[in-house]
A and B are shown apart, each in its own frame.
Chain A
Amino acid sequence: MTEDEPENLSETFERVPSTAAERVVEGRPSRAEIIDYWVDRFGVPKDTFDGATFWEKGGGRIWVLNYELSGPISIEALGLPILRTRQEFWKPTTDAVRRFGAEATENVIHLEEPAARAFLAGEKQELPWDGDWGYLIVTHDIAGAADPIGVGRYTYGTLQSMLPKGRRREFEEGEGISK
């Protein structure tokens, strides 16, 4: 990369381009690619992100804001972090699958309560799964319906909890006992 080429500014939020054809910063995903990822991989409704804008801060950290601003913007946070895109496989964030994953229909693995609690504690567990490997939305039943807990990575018969340390929980005896 030469000095004249635009690059990511680690402290600044910059709008992503609408499509790959309008890309200026190398490696930056487009709005269309981000929406396609959620729709193709997880089957969320196509209108999930209508009216929202997407932003990159630092290499590959994508944020969604349900408001129209033009930027670039240098502030502490802008919207919700939803995706990391600068590895081979894009990875959705825990908070994003909780926020946008409730209506997902693809690559969703549903856990019974003991497995859900092990996942919440950050554990890796052996589980059957006949779908795609890679990042899955992990759900369990709460108040009579499925809701996402977070992201798991499924490979070779095991589901690794991707919950960040600060989001892991181990309920004490007598707490968090879902029937």
Chain B
Amino acid sequence: MDSLRRYESIVPDFSAFLEALTKPLPTTVRVNTIRATPERVKAAFEDEGIRVERRERIPTLLEVGTDKPGNTWPHVHGWIHGQEEVSTIPPRVLDPDPGGVVWEAAAAPGGKATQLAALMNDSGLVIANDDNLGRLSALRSNADRLGVSSMAVTNQDARNFSFDPLGIEAVDHALVDAPCTCEGTLRKNPDALSDAGAGASRNISSVQRDILIRAIKATRPGGKVVYSTCTFAPEENEAVVDAALEATETNVVDFESPLPAEPGVETWEGESYDPAVQKTKRYYPHQTDTGGFYVAKLEVAE
């Protein structure tokens, strides 16, 4: 946990933050609304003798009383996908309309990409890209099991992604759930901090910036780009958004959050960022009872 000490100045109630990170996460599943309703999934679990609670803040998320939701009939039928509550936020913030075209730059293993397809009522096109072929096979398996028929799966380096193979010139919206140091996943992955630290964050931030800039340039004027990470480091969050604002014609826009959040930080270790980053949001485990997350919503200038 030592590598997290440097956040004491930006995280409110820091001791509660550290304590929350030691507690295991509740097991949650997202209802695949392409196939079923939350009511029907709840009934199916209860028929199997598995306790289910609706998470009040996100209607399609259920907390289940089993650590193996994959070994149940609702999973077989493609009615659910194991997904952490906070990780359902970025697609909800993007909130794409049915029939549109959305690019997800780093999509494997597909929790958010399949959620985007469900939000679009499985109508339109989700271009789910990842540079890792092994993780892409997990994405394809998830998409097929969930019955997604509106997805194109690509294997490219997102930083210089080409839409030529699809014959598409611009997308309506983009989601960059960036590769990151994953500090916020400590509650489900006790080794999450083994490679974390300021140096690791600075190293990965140039990749994050390049992917975000590519996503902004690929999005039509007026389209939305959501940038997210599961890490606390401002180097990977506000600094990346700040660099993208500098390099492109883009605005940060505010958004309603179903979970409590803190505003993005404007200054960090001697750096200061575009004040607009205060409209981005930081999710802390002791405030949300989830993992940690960062979400920014951008709008490409007309």
Contact = CB atoms under 8 A, between A and B. Distances in A.
Contacts of B144: 80-81, 95
B271 interface: no
A177 B49 contact: yes
B10 interface: no
B72 interface: yes
A51 interface: yes
Given A142-B73, A142-B74, A77 B150 contact: no
B270 to A, nearest CB: 44
B136 A76 contact: yes
A98 B150 contact: no
B149 interface: yes
Contact of A73 (B34, B40, B143, B165): B165
B71 A169 contact: yes
Contacts of A78: 152-153
Which of A64, A69, A99, A120 has most chain B Cβ within 10 Å? A99
A177 B47 CA distance: 7
Interface string B234-263: 000000000000000000000000000000
Nearest to B72: A176
A147 B77 contact: yes
A165 to B, nearest CB: 12
Contacts of A66: 122-124, 149-150
A6 interface: no
Interface string B98-121: 000100000000000000000000
Interface string B120-149: 001111000000000010001101110111
Contacts of B149: 52, 64-66, 79-80, 99
A143 B141 CA distance: 25
Interface string A70-95: 11011111111100000000000001
A4 interface: no
A81 B43 CA distance: 29
Nearest to A51: B123
Contacts of B217: none
B147 A149 contact: no
A64 B154 CA distance: 17
A143 B47 contact: yes
Interface in A156-179: 166-167, 169, 171-172, 174-179
Given A67-B124, A70-B167, A98-B147, 18 more contacts: A51-B123, A67-B125, A67-B150, A73-B152, A76-B136, A76-B154, A76-B155, A78-B152, A95-B78, A98-B35, A120-B76, A142-B44, A149-B77, A171-B72, A176-B73, A178-B44, A178-B47, A178-B48
23 contacts: A65-B149, A65-B150, A66-B123, A67-B101, A67-B123, A67-B125, A71-B167, A73-B152, A73-B165, A75-B152, A75-B153, A76-B153, A78-B152, A80-B144, A95-B147, A98-B77, A142-B74, A143-B40, A144-B43, A169-B71, A172-B71, A177-B49, A178-B73
Interface of B: 34-35, 40-41, 43-44, 47-49, 66, 68, 71-74, 76-78, 101, 122-125, 136, 140-141, 143-145, 147-155, 165-167
